Amino acid sequence: MNGFTYTKDELYKLGTTLEQKACKVFLIMFSMADNNGYVNTSLSDLSKRSGMSITTIRKAIEELKCLKILEVNHNVGVATDYRMKTPISENKL
């Protein structure tokens, strides 16, 4: 279990604000996050877990980034770092 806390209202708002595919990616990444919100995954892993194409995963991640729910750091020559942001209410969904 990770250290994130969401109220029922925040989760409802997330579910009604995000596109369906972005919501699915968020929930998969949220379930994988450590206590600091970091997610050790790849686009291909997310694709396998979600059943969606890598292109669709990229679009979903971009939506999450735009809403400031997810931080993405692209590191040259190494894996991309993903960090979940919480609570949603601070991000003004």
pLDDT tens for residues 38-69? 999 999 999 999 999 999 999 999 999 998 88
83: CB partners within 8 A, 6+ apart: 36, 37, 38, 39, 70, 71, 73
Q: Which domain holds residue 76?
A: 8-91
Q: Domain count of the chain?
A: 1
Q: Tell if the pTM clears 0.95, that is, is over it.
A: no
Residue 3 lies in a domain: no
78: CB partners within 8 A, 6+ apart: none
Residue 45 lies in a domain: yes
Residue 69 lies in a domain: yes
74: CB partners within 8 A, 6+ apart: 80
Residue 72 lies in a domain: yes
Residue 2 lies in a domain: no
Residue 73 lies in a domain: yes
Instruction: Assign residue 64 the CATH number of its domain.
Output: 1.10.10.10
Q: Say if residue 23's pLDDT is above 80.
A: yes
State the residue for tokens 């250290």.
Answer: 3
